[in-house]
């Protein structure tokens, strides 16, 4: 049980970009099957925190552990040889979805989903194709298998990127503002896919501005500001009854610009302003 | 000064022998220089500082000194260190080294023109640096790399004329000899100018075909476009 509770651990992560401290001794623990949404104003370090998990943004200090094993421990020597191979094995277990999709334009939808399965996991072409079809089906792209990413809409590209990550059978998904680059009418399709993933028990760490979505799927919401976690708690408490003034302000600003979903109205109702 | 047509007929075969040597030398130089260029481009991006430094130094030396001086240095200085190579081999090595420095920079430019997210997404899914380059970055960068790479090949072919200064019996050397024997510079040099032109056109057309063949598979617009929903 405690092993599941400490599925993913980020311990005292400090990241500096020149003189700017992007993350200041941030610690976060995620349990197996938990969905954690990270919210906060831009530049607060939430994307950097997410990118620390798979060591895409190696921190200056701190440790990341997945199921008790060290993914990275800063400051450590440059990642070479055995170190980088071990890191790549961890990365293959963490599916990452980017704001800008980063689908591979020189490969068809199917090839986008099979390539890493073959290259990284060593699956056979047939096995990879079968898994890819299932993953593309899961995200509603069963009829786009032979299309080029260029022919897909933004929402479809993002769902392709999700399928690419899912086909690796990851034990954890990292999503960096998965809907921020999408036209509003395409957001719901992507969110529906993520919601079904959450319902299947996938452990997810999501950086998002979609409060309504966070309210629906997140077990826990983490509010960050200026490189620190300011408030962290169960979703209902964080979004409906924020303890800090900072989170109250942030929620008020965000709900003022977002469509007034039922969720947002609740937040506003609780807000004194 | 009229054109003496008999010169073409009498000396044409000798020129063609020189032309054949020019072709052999540039083909070998490109065959060695291109893989070396790929290696140098990747070495410049290596995690290992020593490799990065060595590659950068090599590229900078060959890019920033005149080719004729490089040829002289290799041809006249190497024997002092006990390495005495035939002029043709020195020519091939010098051209390959010179070409690889430019090829490396063109290839590096192509790699760096790719959106950073492409390399990042390959790393995030667990690919090593080599796998990310091979399966994600380079296939896309090829469309950006080929046109300037062709340019570099054409200038390498023209630079091969410099090898006449170290007694390589290639096309320019042959023309210089014929000019000395006949005192007909115009005929001698117009012949080789046309043959250099022909060789370059053939290479340029071949490269254009290759480029079309490689990029036809995917929609053309994908090569350089940065993805984005909005």
pLDDT digits (tens, 9 = 90+) for B195-221: 999 999 999 999 999 988 877 666 544
Residue B220 touches partner A, C-beta closer than 8 Å: no
**Token pair recorded at residue A33:** 């099957």
Cβ–Cβ below 8 Å for A116 and B118: no
Measure the CA–CA gap between B95 and B67, rounded to whole angstroms: 8
- Helix (H) and strand (E) counts for chain A? 11, 10
Residue B51 touches partner A, C-beta closer than 8 Å: no
Strand ordering across the sheet containing A20-30: A20-30, A8-17, A61-66, A69-74
pLDDT of residue A239: 81
CATH number of the domain bearing residue B51: 1.10.3720.10
Q: Which residue of A has its CA nearest to B225?
A: A105
Range of the domain at B83: 5-229
Cβ–Cβ below 8 Å for B120 and A98: yes
Against a cut of 0.90, is the pTM above it? no
pLDDT of residue B222: 44
pLDDT digits (tens, 9 = 90+) for A133-149: 999 999 999 999 999 99
pLDDT of residue B223: 44
Q: Which residues of A touch B114 (CB under 8 A)?
A: none
Q: Cα distance from A147 to chain B (closest Cα, Å)? A: 10
**Residue A56: which of B123, B228, B230 has the nearest Cβ?**
B123
**Stretch among A10-14, A236-240, B101-105 having the lowest mean pLDDT:** A236-240
Look at residue A169 and tell me whether its pLDDT is greater than 50.
yes
pLDDT digits (tens, 9 = 90+) for A29-87: 999 999 999 999 988 999 999 999 999 999 999 999 999 999 988 877 555 667 888 89
**Residue A183: which of B48, B126, B229 has the nearest Cβ?**
B229
Question: Angle between the A245-257 and A262-270 helix axes, to the nearest 10 degrees?
Answer: 140
Other beta carbons less than 10 A from residue A151's beta carbon:
14
User: Which residue has better confidence, A237 or B107?
Assistant: B107
Cβ–Cβ below 8 Å for B230 and A183: yes
Q: Which residues of A touch B127 (CB under 8 A)?
A: 88, 116, 119-120
pLDDT of residue B94: 96
pLDDT band at A258 (very low <50, low <70, confident <90, very high): low
- Mean pLDDT in residue range A249-265: 66
Cβ–Cβ below 8 Å for B126 and A89: yes
pLDDT digits (tens, 9 = 90+) for A181-230: 888 888 989 999 999 999 999 999 999 988 888 888 899 999 999 999 99
pLDDT lower than 70: segments of chain B:
1, 216-230
**How many domains does the structure of chain B reveal?**
1
Residue B126 touches partner A, C-beta closer than 8 Å: yes
User: Which residue has better confidence, B150 or A256?
Assistant: B150
* ipTM score over 0.90, yes or no: no
User: Which residue has better confidence, A118 or B129?
Assistant: A118
pLDDT of residue A2: 61
């Amino acid at each position: 049980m405690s092993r599941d509770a400490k599925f993913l651990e980020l311990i005292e992560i400090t990241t500096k970009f020149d003189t700017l401290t992007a993350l200041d001794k941030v610690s976060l623990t995620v349990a197996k099957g938990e969905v954690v949404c990270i919210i906060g104003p831009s530049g607060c370090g939430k994307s950097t925190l997410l990118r620390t998990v798979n060591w895409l943004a190696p921190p200056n200090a701190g440790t990341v552990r997945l199921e008790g094993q060290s993914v990275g421990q800063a400051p450590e020597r440059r990642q070479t040889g055995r170190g980088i191979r071990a890191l790549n094995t961890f990365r293959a277990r963490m599916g990452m979805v980017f704001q800008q999709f980063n689908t591979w334009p020189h490969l068809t939808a199917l090839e986008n989903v099979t390539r890493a399965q073959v290259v990284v996991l060593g699956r056979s072409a047939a096995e990879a194709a079968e898994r890819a079809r299932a993953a593309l089906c899961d995200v509603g792209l069963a009829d786009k298998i032979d299309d080029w990413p260029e022919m897909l809409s933004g929402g479809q590209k993002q769902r392709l990127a999700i399928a690419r990550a899912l086909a690796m059978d990851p034990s954890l998904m990292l999503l960096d503002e998965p809907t921020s680059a999408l036209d509003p009418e395409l957001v719901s399709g992507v969110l529906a896919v993520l919601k079904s993933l959450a319902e299947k028990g996938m452990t997810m760490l999501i950086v998002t501005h979609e409060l309504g979505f966070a309210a629906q799927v997140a077990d826990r919401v983490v509010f960050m500001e200026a490189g620190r976690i300011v408030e962290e708690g169960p979703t209902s408490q964080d979004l409906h009854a924020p303890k800090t003034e900072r989170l109250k302000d942030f929620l008020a600003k965000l709900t003022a610009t977002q469509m007034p979903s039922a969720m947002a109205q609740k937040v506003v109702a609780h807000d004194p302003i | 000064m009229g054109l003496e047509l008999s010169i073409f007929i009498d000396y044409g075969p000798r020129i063609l022998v020189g032309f054949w040597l020019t072709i052999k030398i540039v083909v070998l130089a490109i065959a060695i220089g291109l893989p070396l260029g790929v290696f140098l481009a990747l070495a410049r991006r290596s995690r290992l500082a020593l490799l990065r430094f060595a590659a950068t130094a090599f590229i900078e030396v060959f890019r920033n000194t005149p080719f004729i001086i490089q040829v002289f240095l290799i041809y006249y200085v190497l024997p002092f260190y006990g390495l005495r190579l035939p002029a043709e081999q020195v020519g091939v090595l010098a051209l390959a080294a010179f070409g690889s420095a430019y090829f490396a920079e063109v290839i590096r430019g192509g790699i760096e023109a790719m959106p950073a997210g492409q390399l990042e997404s390959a790393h995030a899914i667990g690919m090593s640096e080599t796998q990310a380059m091979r399966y994600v970055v380079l296939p896309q960068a090829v469309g950006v790399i080929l046109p300037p790479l062709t340019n570099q090949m054409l200038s390498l072919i023209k630079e091969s004329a410099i090898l006449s200064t170290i007694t390589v019996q290639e096309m320019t050397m042959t023309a210089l000899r014929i000019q000395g024997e006949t005192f007909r510079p115009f005929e001698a040099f117009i012949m080789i100018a046309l043959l250099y032109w022909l060789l370059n056109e053939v290479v340029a057309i071949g490269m254009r075909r290759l480029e079309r063949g490689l990029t036809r598979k995917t929609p053309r617009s994908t090569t350089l476009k940065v993805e984005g929903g909005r």
